[in-house]
Structure 1
Amino acid sequence: MDQTEILLTAETYALQGWDFAKGWLLSPAAWTQFGLLVVAYVVAVYITRKLLPLLSKYLAPPADQDNVLAKIRRFILMFTPLLLPLMAYAFTGLGEGVTRSIFGSGEVIAFGKRVFMFLAARILVREVLQDPMLKVLGRYLLLPIAALYAVGLLDEVMAQLDQTVLPLGNLSFSLLFLLRFIVVGGAIFWLGRWSNEQSSSFIKNQQEMRPAMRELAAKATEIAIFGLAFLLVMNIMGISLTSLAVLTGVIGVGLGFGLQKIASNFISGVILLLEGQATVGDYVELDGGEAGTIVKMTARATILETYDGRWIVVPNEDFITTRVVNYSDSGSANRYEAPFSVSYDTDINTVPAIVEAAVAKNPDVLSDPFPPDCELRGFGESGIDFSVEFWVNGIDDGRHKYTSDVLFRIWNALKDNDIEIPYPRRVIEMKGPFPSKPE
């Protein structure tokens, strides 16, 4: 084809395009649709500006409220940025019905309506969604789908994806099925995680329940929610649960052999929560030397936090098969001792009353089950040894330094009564004369 033929072909296409554009520009139906698009957008902007302050006024809860109703109201307010494009979409849909009934066509306004839906999807991904997983799904799945819908190619692309089959052994599925599974599964499991967070927060706020029962109820609710989410995904995608029988058998064999410890720790965790012998907030010490405050109980292990800020992961089985000392068992008090010494020149009959009165002034020292008790322990090399026993609700470590405060009070009380606290003394006996100084 020479240059003249190319120019003639280009001129032919240009004339056809001009005739097409001129037909649209001179068509009353096209101008009507353009006008309705503008009117729909302007009306949507006007109504949105009126509604947003009202929604913020009546839906926004006080900042100090954190109940279920307040969370629902905040959740609804998250979607207010979608108000403008969705209202424009709705008004454009009404305009499309009018133009199709009058002129028998509505391609222009239908395209505008799809563009408004694409803008709504874009705002949803950029401004509304906060969860990282949903943002990824929105950016790489929802926005491309909305763009294809806006240009009118969604049906063709979906048909092509449905015809593209991926073989996987004896199974095969289409790309369209895979995309639907990802979208539906991601949305349902996100909803399950959100529901689990809300239900767990609600259960843990029920202070009338024992801490162990709160943990057990939260775990049972979590298993129920995600189990239901799994069954729901399988049902929506049309996957028969009977086809999972072989997989279930394999999992059972794995639990019997390779996952014995995991199963044992899981059952041990359930027993711990049921019995309530150790729960979140307790300070425990195990036979292996691990000691700390229980900060979290998972299906496999219990997390201990030491007073130096370290976390220790202890398998739940260790709480069942080994000896565990719980210093924070419900309502229990702990006894501690503070040793000290006085000089041999002291009237020791006055020491117990002075020390007991000083220790009792500590607001954390209990009078029940026993008040402070100062006892004579022995006669040391440098002084007379005493020790005062006292009871407190808590552990003498971390934030609470009971023994340190008690010793300060003992020191001050002895000083106020002119009682000397001895220090080690040694008597050196020299036998024979001192060596003479050399001349």
Structure 2
Amino acid sequence: MEFDLSQQPEIVQQAYGYAVQAWELAMSWLLSPEAWSQFGLLVLAWLLAGLISRRMRPALARVIDPGEKENLFSTPRRFLLQFLPLISPLLAYALTGIGESIVRSLFDSGAVIAFGKRVFLFLAARALVRDIITDPFLKLLGRYILLPIMAIYTVGLLDVVSARLSETIVGVGNIRFSLMTLVRGIIAGSLLFWLGQWSNSQTTALIAQNKEMRPSIRQLLIKTAEFTIFAIAFLLLMNILGIDLTTLAVLGGAIGVGLGFGLQKIASNFISGVILLVEGQATVGDYVELDGGEQGKIVKMMARAAILETFDGRWIVVPNEDFITTRVVNYSDSGSANRYEAPFSVSYDTDINKIPPLIEAAVASHPEVLDVPYPPDCELRGFGESGIDFAVEFWVNGLDDGPNKYTSDVLFLIWNALKDAGVEIPYPQRVVEIKGGLPKETP
């Protein structure tokens, strides 16, 4: 049955032509003894591969699976264990390849065999995406890129589709490229992006395990590795797309001009960040206070800025340049102890000579108060209006008024010690003198 499609669009005519060719090919296979013999060989190869796979997979699993043992080969063996679902389709492909040479020698034809081999490869790709790949991004690529390509390859249209995509040219401004280049760029860019992310995470974990390095040096190495990995990925992508890398010199010049004018602060903050990581003046985990009043724990250091987390949970973004050009107080540098003081007062009726040893002993009983560099020290500060003013100085490894409440604990200890010793804690008192006496009541 033929149809007159001369008035239809070209794509409709081409689709009709491919449909007619497929119909003629299917009819020739159905009426050909050679084709039926090849179909039989494909079915036999698939059944035999399934039988061998059911017997082989448990044995291979027992040999490859390392169990709970941890050694140099444990990780590679667990990696190989994931690919056992591919045994059946790949074995069917191999058995079909052996039978193909026999069929071609007998019938001088192997079109059905070739089609069956492509089907087995498609089944292997489907098993790879469905049963083996666990990464969400790679599974997405396999589902929407690998499987469609394998389906086109299975029906024998991969060369036709590739040629059509290569002939179709699109342009964006002065840039012109083929759809094949665009598809190749999307596939290569996706794979390189994932590989860069994976390599960066592995490198970061490896560097973070080295506790002998200073934290600032580890951060610098992590940032350097990240920049290097993605720079290599970018250059590889440009090479795959066929873009001349010499043209990047123009882009580099433009970036240089931009840095000279509009990106001065960004460049300054980036360089300041590198200096911070090299010198180690402040690093992740330090509690710092800047000259502008910003204070908090450094939770993240980026190329442009550092993030401080305050005790009340707020995040403050501080440009790296502020750490270089302003005064910075680092309370956590080298794990040094910090000194705090707790003021209090006693009544004028108290024997003040007994107060320092009493309070020093009470404060020293706190488990977090240090004897080094100095033990607790109670000092007389002055004679107030309502009582005698004292203050006790103490050293602790940590920061007060955050996760730790050292001053509050010390004040509790002072209160209890004074109460146990019978020392009165004064409260404000005022004496009011009325000159001339009280006014007389008029009748």
Shorter-chain TM-score tier = 0.7 to 0.9
The answer to whether the aligner puts 1:34 opposite 2:43 as a matched pair is yes
Task: For residue 211 of structure 1, report the CA deviation from its aligned partner.
Answer: 0.7
Q: TM-score, normalised by structure 2?
A: 0.85
Moved more, 245-254 or 291-300: 245-254
List aligned pairs for 1:260-339, cutoff 5 A: 260-339=264-343
Of 219, 228, 231, the residue aligned with 1:227 is: 231
| Residue matched to 2:195 | 191
Task: For residue 226 of structure 1, report the CA deviation from its aligned partner.
Answer: 1.3
Amino acid in the other structure paired with 1:294: I
Cα distance in 2, alignment partners of residues 185 and 17 from structure 1: 39
User: Alpha carbons of 1:237 and 1:363: their partners in 2 closer, same or farther (altered >3 Å)?
Assistant: same
Task: For residue 373 of structure 1, report the CA deviation from its aligned partner.
Answer: 0.6
Moved more, 285-294 or 248-257: 248-257
| Residue matched to 2:15 | none
Moved more, 177-186 or 346-355: 177-186
Cα distance in 1, alignment partners of residues 331 and 187 from structure 2: 49
Moved more, 69-78 or 103-112: 69-78
Of 100, 116, 120, the residue aligned with 2:120 is: 116
List aligned pairs for 1:63-78, cutoff 5 A: none
| Residue matched to 1:247 | 251
Moved more, 213-222 or 71-80: 71-80
Taking only aligned residues, the RMSD between alpha carbons, in angstroms, comes to 3.1
List aligned pairs for 1:14-413, cutoff 5 A: 20-24=29-33, 27-55=36-64, 57-58=65-66, 79-413=83-417
User: Alpha carbons of 1:18 and 1:110: their partners in 2 closer, same or farther (altered >3 Å)?
Assistant: closer
Q: Does the 8 Å contact 1:292/1:305 carry over to 2?
A: yes
Cα distance in 1, alignment partners of residues 442 and 127 from structure 2: 101
Task: For residue 292 of structure 1, report the CA deviation from its aligned partner.
Answer: 0.8
Cα distance in 2, alignment partners of residues 16 and 252 from structure 1: 62
Task: For residue 84 of structure 1, report the CA deviation from its aligned partner.
Answer: 4.4
Cα distance in 2, alignment partners of residues 291 and 16 from structure 1: 77
Q: Does the 8 Å contact 1:44/1:88 carry over to 2?
A: no
User: Alpha carbons of 1:323 and 1:399: their partners in 2 closer, same or farther (altered >3 Å)?
Assistant: same
Cα distance in 2, alignment partners of residues 84 and 348 from structure 1: 92
Cα distance in 2, alignment partners of residues 366 and 134 from structure 1: 54
Q: Does the 8 Å contact 1:341/1:384 carry over to 2?
A: yes
Moved more, 14-23 or 374-383: 14-23
Moved more, 164-173 or 44-53: 44-53
Amino acid in the other structure paired with 2:403: R
Cα distance in 2, alignment partners of residues 110 and 293 from structure 1: 65
Cα distance in 2, alignment partners of residues 399 and 76 from structure 1: 47
Task: For residue 357 of structure 1, report the CA deviation from its aligned partner.
Answer: 1.0
Amino acid in the other structure paired with 2:50: Y
Amino acid in the other structure paired with 2:60: L
Q: Does the 8 Å contact 2:272/2:324 carry over to 1?
A: yes
Task: For residue 263 of structure 1, report the CA deviation from its aligned partner.
Answer: 1.0
Q: Does the 8 Å contact 1:37/1:109 carry over to 2?
A: no
Cα distance in 1, alignment partners of residues 385 and 25 from structure 2: 118
Q: Per the alignment, in what secondary structure is the counterpart of residue 235 of structure 2?
A: helix
Task: For residue 338 of structure 1, report the CA deviation from its aligned partner.
Answer: 0.6
Q: Per the alignment, in what secondary structure is the counterpart of residue 307 of structure 1?
A: coil
Task: For residue 188 of structure 1, report the CA deviation from its aligned partner.
Answer: 1.8
User: Alpha carbons of 1:16 and 1:305: their partners in 2 closer, same or farther (altered >3 Å)?
Assistant: closer
Q: TM-score, normalised by structure 1?
A: 0.86
Amino acid in the other structure paired with 2:143: R
User: Alpha carbons of 1:17 and 1:183: their partners in 2 closer, same or farther (altered >3 Å)?
Assistant: closer
Cα distance in 2, alignment partners of residues 343 and 326 from structure 1: 39
Q: Per the alignment, in what secondary structure is the counterpart of residue 314 of structure 1?
A: strand
Q: Does the 8 Å contact 1:282/1:293 carry over to 2?
A: yes
Q: Give CA deviations for 1:26-48 in whole Å, capped at 9, x if unaligned.
A: 84333223222322233234423
User: Alpha carbons of 1:415 and 1:95: their partners in 2 closer, same or farther (altered >3 Å)?
Assistant: farther
Q: Per the alignment, in what secondary structure is the counterpart of residue 323 of structure 2?
A: helix
Q: Per the alignment, in what secondary structure is the counterpart of residue 278 of structure 1?
A: coil
Q: Does the 8 Å contact 1:40/1:92 carry over to 2?
A: no
Q: Does the 8 Å contact 1:211/1:280 carry over to 2?
A: yes
**Aligned positions, number:** 422
Task: For residue 298 of structure 1, report the CA deviation from its aligned partner.
Answer: 0.8
Q: Per the alignment, in what secondary structure is the counterpart of residue 344 of structure 1?
A: coil
Amino acid in the other structure paired with 2:117: K
Cα distance in 1, alignment partners of residues 356 and 101 from structure 2: 97
Report sequence identity in percent: 63
Amino acid in the other structure paired with 1:143: L
| Residue matched to 1:8 | none
Amino acid in the other structure paired with 1:234: M
Moved more, 300-309 or 23-32: 23-32
Q: Per the alignment, in what secondary structure is the counterpart of residue 330 of structure 1?
A: helix
Q: Give CA deviations for 1:49-104 in whole Å, capped at 9, x if unaligned.
A: 4434544x31x657xx8x99776666555555545444444444444444434544
Task: For residue 197 of structure 1, report the CA deviation from its aligned partner.
Answer: 0.7
User: Which segments of 5 or more consecutive residues in structure 2 lack a partner in the other structure?
Assistant: 2-22
Moved more, 95-104 or 320-329: 95-104
